[in-house]
Amino acid sequence: MNEYYVLSNGVKVPKIGFGTWQIPDGQVSIQAVKDAIKAGYRHIDTAAIYGNEDGVGTGILECGVLREQLFLTTKVWNSDQGYETTKRAFEASLKKLKTDYVDLYLIHWPAVNLFQNHTMKNQETWKAMEEIYRSGKAKAIGVCNFFPHHLAPLMEQATILPMVNQIEINPGNPADDEIEYARKHGMLVQAYSPMMKGKIFDIDLLKRLSLKYDRTIPQIVLRWLIQRGLNPLSKSITPHRMESNLAVFDFLIEDSDMEKIKELSVLGRVGTHPDKARF
């Protein structure tokens, strides 16, 4: 896979990432990462809260591809937010991942309901993120699950603006407003849960488009995201599905069908709303 986006600081990000959420630590995550890299993925996404950084790191060590040819993301968990705690959490992640740097480090959630003043906590966390970035131990920094009203106060205090916002985007939650805001401020938008936790397979429109384009339903969804200029994170532990999910660079979805997919927004998001999260 040789298709890339370029971040505001010039760092290249492979257009499709391999997501590891809910992949257990140990041999399962080790093998999944090795299989994903063998299939062609060069962008691996994990997080401290996933509990699989150790296995992901081992998989990367054993995959046979040079570390500098891979793009690795991890995230600081909500309970570790804060200036000193973020720096400690980052070092712990590096140790588990068995690497001396990550390509992207993200604040996992704005943690609206976890702290009395989540805005101040986000700002403290971001100050630590900026120091990590300046040290070279993170090639890029950003956020996850931040809406414009979470981003605005963070950026007012920032000396380095977020380069990425990773949010839930799929046919049920096209996230037009969040995407527009991020682009206005120079951020790449990454799309997690693109398959709507499996619900895409029950949607009649996607079944029809699968037949029309002679592609799998996941390929239709991933192509829809890429044509919108988004960076999807796809997950599977089955090698042939990993390969299939990368085979989306040789066809185009017609504009009219792109709009029809967006009309599925009535289905709504499948994950937690950032302002309602209690963790």
CA 134 to chain centre: 22
Phi–psi pair at 272, nearest 5 degrees: -75, 135
Number of H helices, E strands in the chain: 10, 10
Q: What is the pLDDT of residues 166-209, one digit of tens each?
A: 999 999 999 999 999 999 999 999 999 999 999 999 999 999 99
- The token duo for 192 is 């997690």
47 is a domain residue? yes
pTM summary value = 0.97
**Residue 260: inside a domain, yes or no?**
no
Rounded Cα gap, residues 143 and 122, in angstroms: 10
CATH number at residue 18: 3.20.20.100
CA-nearest of 222, 218, 224, 223 to 203 is 218
Range of the domain at 135: 4-197+230-250
Whole-angstrom distance, CA of residue 187 vs CA of residue 146: 12
Three state DSSP letters for 188-234:
EEEEECCCHHHHHHHCHHHHHHHHHHCCCHHHHHHHHHHHCCCEEEE
The answer to the question of residue 222 being in a domain is no
Q: Within 13 Å of residue 190, how many CA atoms lie on the same side as its CB?
A: 31
Residue 263 lies in a domain: no
Side-chain-facing half-sphere of 158: CA atoms under 13 Å:
21
How far is residue 16's CA from residue 42's CA, in Å, rounded to a whole number? 8
For residues 154 and 224, give the distance between their C-alpha atoms in angstroms, rounded to a whole number. 30
Nearest to 152 by CA among 193, 182, 109: 182
* Structural domains counted in the chain: 1
Predicted confidence pLDDT, tens digits, the chain (279 residues): 568 999 999 999 999 999 999 999 999 999 999 999 999 999 999 999 999 999 999 999 999 999 999 999 999 999 999 999 999 999 999 999 999 999 999 999 999 999 999 999 999 999 999 999 999 999 999 999 999 999 999 999 999 999 999 999 999 999 999 999 999 999 999 999 999 999 999 999 999 999 999 999 999 999 999 999 999 999 999 999 999 999 999 999 999 999 999 999 999 999 999 999 999
> Does residue 171 contact residue 218 with C-beta atoms inside 8 Å?
no
Rg over alpha carbons for the chain, rounded to the nearest Å, is: 18
Helix axis angle for 255-262 and 204-213, nearest 10°, is: 160
Give domain status of residue 152, yes or no.
yes
Q: In angstroms, rounded to a whole number, what is the distance separating the alpha carbons of residues 83 and 129?
A: 8
State the alpha helices, DSSP H only, in the chain: 27-39, 53-62, 83-97, 118-135, 148-157, 176-184, 204-213, 217-227, 239-246, 255-262
Instruction: Report yes or no on 277 lying in a domain.
Output: no
The reply to whether 17 falls in a domain is: yes
Strands 17-19 and 43-45 come out as parallel
Residue 9 tokens read as: 């600081």
Residue 65: inside a domain, yes or no? yes
Which residues participate in catalysis according to the annotation? 50
